Chain A
């Protein structure tokens, strides 16, 4: 009786582990897709991207610096997410980047003197509030990914 219960439990756990693994894969995949897509579209129209940052009511003075940093981080993170060794780290980083973007959008929506023309924006068809929800969804994905990630040997993070 008790033996059967234990076996049942391990099967459950194994199922849970598999479920978590699939979720992590999905999370990483979505992030890779998002970052590669976003970074590529920025790269293709790089000048426009800098100009847009330059004209946003915040960050304008720093656009020259921030534009390449964002681009490089997005590409770098999508590569890191491919390697299991760096996955947890990349998930933390992706989470941080998303929080930054989201803070940016919230400041624009609530505190900036105006909302910049989103005509030809980064994710073009999306309005700023939709963008906010979209980002929050991705933040939740990253959190799920981190929490579902199996314990690491060197549990530094």
Chain B
């Protein structure tokens, strides 16, 4: 009698435990499946540290290296502001570009110490120099118009251009040392069936120094593209939300041959940043179990592993009154955010730190 009951208890215990473990594994699997849209919020991955008034909302992050942030400024494109990561000391530099008769329309700064690059895709031109004297020489002009540019190393760049006949977005790499400088990667960006290849493929371009990967995150659908530094496709990943199709209506205005957005588009992935092997995406959509109060008072950042394409976790960056973040950058220990005319720093704490270290180890192993 007793023995029989002990056996039954043992069997029950075994089956109950395996069921729970099975459910755990199933759930883990489901989270990575497209369309579940369940975020996980570990406790406090990033804690607010400091806020600095930088007086203008025209600043943007141009780069980071060894404890120093470099900020560019859209309205004063030749000014570089260097701020230490404790947000105490700052210094302004003035870039001196080689003289030319270009008319700049949208100069963009990238600092990738010891080099910096100043580019304007509408000219088109790329200036480059070293940050010890901020003197910029012309590296390239009149090769291809581009709309986005990220430095890969001292002579190589990844850029986004437009196909000359259709105007569709296209990614490419550009090497100053090579005879055949520009190489377009036709297959990386995918136009959607009823899209025009311009608006529906719009997104943000990143280059991960740590893993030597090019990442392009679409603005209006739940996808991102990961390629190696030769722009060879590695894989197409998806973000956890359910927007598989870009929801954009484009109106063609005969007068002046213009294309305009018919209705405000549904932005999915607004801003992005990369650190080590982790991709950070500011997503504007609310997940299935997201607390509506938290969600509406903050910007949600989703973290993905670039090597595997897996979703890692999410966290919130609170809004400032009603303004949400417009630019952010992630270092191995901190997150810096620009909201309105404020620069804020967040300290990365244990849960996220652990993922970053894991990513760093994996990167080291792979190289």
Contacts and interface: CB of A to CB of B under 8 A. Distances in A.
A99 B6 contact: no
Contacts of A114: 42-43, 313, 351
15 contacts: A51-B289, A55-B41, A61-B36, A62-B27, A100-B17, A103-B21, A104-B20, A113-B313, A113-B351, A113-B354, A114-B351, A115-B43, A116-B42, A146-B8, A157-B8
A2 interface: no
B43 A117 contact: yes
Contacts of A58: 23-24, 27-28
Nearest to B42: A114
Nearest to B19: A100
Contact of B5 (A103, A113, A116, A146): A146
Given A100-B20, A155-B4, 16 more contacts: A50-B289, A54-B38, A58-B23, A59-B23, A60-B40, A61-B27, A62-B23, A99-B16, A99-B17, A100-B19, A107-B24, A116-B43, A146-B5, A146-B9, A147-B6, A157-B5
Interface in B1-51: 1-2, 4-6, 8-9, 12-13, 15-17, 19-21, 23-24, 26-28, 30-31, 33, 36, 38-43
Interface in A19-54: 50-51, 54
Interface of B: 1-2, 4-6, 8-9, 12-13, 15-17, 19-21, 23-24, 26-28, 30-31, 33, 36, 38-43, 288-289, 291, 313, 351, 354-355
A116 to B, nearest CB: 7
B16 A97 contact: yes
Interface residues of A, number: 34
Nearest to A60: B38
A143 interface: yes
A107 B12 contact: no
A155 B13 CA distance: 20
Given A62-B23, A147-B5, A100 B16 contact: yes
